[in-house]
Amino acid sequence: MTARQAAFLVGFGAVLALSAPVSLPAQPAGGASSGYNTVKQKLANGQQVVAGTVSIPDPEIYCAVANAGFDLTWIEMQHSPLTYQDVARMLMACKGAPAIPFIRVPDATEGDIQKAADIGALGIIVPMVDTIEKAEAAVRFAKYPPIGRRSQGGGQYGALWGSGYRQTANANIMVVALIENPAGVDIADRIAAVPGIDIVFVASTDLGSFSGLKQGDPKYEALVTKTEAGVLNAKRYLGGPLAWRDRKGYQFFQGPGETALLTCGARTVLGVKPTGCPSGPVAKIEGSK
């Protein structure tokens, strides 16, 4: 293990100590498959799951994240220069890692979702879902017939998930819809009800950016509450930032990225007060102490 990986693991340990699975009432959301997506299985069992965020095109760094104890990796392809070739190399370098790869694609296009699935993602995270058509498109392009219209072709999915992938993919691939603006909030219940949507994620900072409201403001919290009610009434899983771990009903969380965790880990190794680490108890408002 390199010094860089060791520092990462120390930082990840600080995060994971604050994000141990908490038992919540299990929600149907299609149930867990008998397959290989352990995130889907954990959610169906009422557990919380935490993602380590990845945006650096380095297989060694990716492996440090994927083997650190996170339930999944949130591979950031919307807000990073990562290419599909970069990510394909990263996933193959860590074949068999316990963290399940989820990719936030740039948009709900056939090309983006097809490539993400072909290189082995078992989670498709779709940004800016504020129409029913976009939610339906995400499912359609992520799933093989008869559910969707994903085509067969080349890819490393078989090397990662087995020769029976075509028969098992639909039961294992999950679709995550991000609610980032008031338009998405207004129809969050209908987005959640789209067949094939597994998780609806409240993108807290963008919701503030688009609404012009701050977290903690009653009007902002009303937007969040409306989204939560629509998602849970549709019996889908609810996601948000790690800072919201103690908010009722949430099971799926995005944790910090590699740079923050490296800073946290390095300072911990040096015996210096760590920065870049979440502190306990977890703040109700993301970014607050």
Token pair listed for 135: 């939610």
pLDDT tens digits for 187-225? 999 999 999 999 999 999 999 999 999 999 999 999 999
Residue 204 lies in a domain: no
Task: Give which of 124, 218, 239, 128 is closest to 175, Cα–Cα.
Answer: 124
Amino acid at 6: A
Instruction: Judge contact between 113 and 105, C-beta under 8 A.
Output: yes
pLDDT tens digits for 10-26? 455 544 444 444 334 33
**How high is the pLDDT of residue 285?**
61
Residue 190 lies in a domain: no
Output the domain CATH number for residue 91: 3.20.20.60
State the pTM of this model.
Answer: 0.87
Instruction: Judge contact between 138 and 177, C-beta under 8 A.
Output: yes
pLDDT tens digits for 168-186? 999 999 999 999 999 999 9
- Domain holding 10, by residue range, is 3-175+249-269
Residue 119 lies in a domain: yes
- Token pair 């074949």 is at which residue? 95
pLDDT tens digits for 76-128? 999 999 999 999 999 999 999 999 999 999 999 999 999 999 999 999 999 99
Say yes or no to pLDDT of 69 above 90: yes
Active site residue 256: no
Instruction: Judge contact between 9 and 64, C-beta under 8 A.
Output: yes
Residue 277 lies in a domain: no
Structurally, the chain folds into a number of domains equal to 1
Residue 195 lies in a domain: no
Q: Which of 79, 95, 190, 219 is catalytic?
A: 79
